[in-house]
A = this chain, B = another copy of it.
């Protein structure tokens, strides 16, 4: 069911510093910062040949990653995202097998304009997993 690893999301305390490190020190192709107010994050994409890293920083009040950053002041890996062909079929299969879908269980339009869901990390060995309909 799961397909490509769409991205690894890393929350960082300073997006400019992280962008500069990935660009100048690690030598990667790094996008400009993009505010996504409807998601409560500012994001920078690090393009790798086979996938991407998303550097995230809280945006505005009530950002969904504010608590993570307060608990991980240096930053840290926040989630990984797997692609699926059909997010509703994936959701129904996973729920039938006992995995918990976060929120109300309905896919939302994610940062890439595609339907996404998040799965409870306690059901996947401490890993917060996003599913994105590719």
A4 close to chain B: CB less than 8 A: yes
Determine the chain B residues whose CB is within 8 A of the CB of A12 once the complex forms: 125-126
As for how many copies of this chain the complex holds, the number is 2
Within 70-89 of A, Cβ neighbours of B (below 8 Å) are at 72, 74-77, 80, 82
Complex Cα distance, B80 from A75, in Å, reads: 14
Q: Interface SS of chain A: helix, strand, loop or mixed?
A: loop
Report whether B8 and A5 are in contact in the complex, using a CB–CB cutoff of 8 Å.
yes
- Chain A residues with CB under 8 Å of chain B are 1-5, 8, 10-13, 18, 21, 24-28, 48-51, 53, 55, 72, 74-77, 80, 82, 93-94, 97, 99, 121-122, 124-127
Q: Could you write out 22 A-B pairs with CB less than 8 Å apart? A: A1-B28, A2-B26, A2-B28, A2-B48, A4-B49, A4-B51, A5-B5, A10-B126, A12-B126, A21-B124, A24-B97, A25-B94, A25-B97, A25-B99, A26-B82, A50-B51, A55-B125, A72-B126, A74-B122, A75-B127, A76-B126, A77-B126
